[in-house]
Amino acid sequence: MAITRRFTLTAIMAAATLMGPLASTAHASAAQLAADGRRALDKLYATEPKSRLFADNAKAVLVFPTIIKGGLVFGAQTGNGVLFVHGRPTRFYNVSAASWGLQIGGQSFSSAMFFMNARALRYLHKSGGFAIGSAPNVVVVDHGAAVSASTTTLTQDVYVFTFAQKGLMAGIDIHGSKITPINPK
């Protein structure tokens, strides 16, 4: 009984801790999301210079400046982002996921998705968003892959960089991220 209470109290405290940042990102204006997206991209380019190669060859870049993730067996993540086409903010999206498994902790991070061809970008627009792993080929880029990238090796539909991680999330989970359009004020 004491263990159940402790577990419940810990889960409530974790949820309350995560709700503050989530509430502030949920109400960001379009102008604020675009500014945050530009700052996030600048940070990515500074910390991973090879990411500029992806940007230079991409049709569009979808940037999520802050994604909040937390879990204690069951977890969730969410964040709002902006789609830049030729450097201009054109549309806004939310990424969300639920997960379960051996996991505990909380973290925030940024993500940039480089849409390399018109087909992948059309799919994002026409489908009203998509679930990662369901349509265009999505490749998560690690440092080693970024270093060896060249214009002849960029053959996939979408490349994803995650960066600016803060916090600690430990464990294994099973999840899928869903990206859906939003209309910030």
Pick out the chain residues at pLDDT < 70.
Answer: 1-27, 129, 132-136, 143-155, 171-175
What is residue 174's predicted lDDT score, i.e. its pLDDT?
44
Give the predicted TM-score (pTM) of the model. 0.78
* Residues counted in the chain: 185
| List of E strands, the chain | 60-85, 88-115, 130-131, 138-140, 158-171, 174-182
HSE-up (13 A, CA, CB side) for residue 8? 5
CB burial of residue 12 (10 Å; 0-12, 13-18, 19+): exposed
Beta strand 60-85 pairing with 158-171 = unpaired
Helices (H), 27-142: 30-47, 51-57, 118-126
What is residue 128's predicted lDDT score, i.e. its pLDDT?
72
Dig out the tokens for 148 from the structure: 């060896």
d(CA 63, CA 65): 6
Residue 103 phi/psi, 5-degree rounding, is -150, 150
Sign of the alpha-carbon torsion through 54, 159, 156, 182: negative
What is residue 31's predicted lDDT score, i.e. its pLDDT?
96
What is residue 133's predicted lDDT score, i.e. its pLDDT?
61
d(CA 125, CA 181): 9
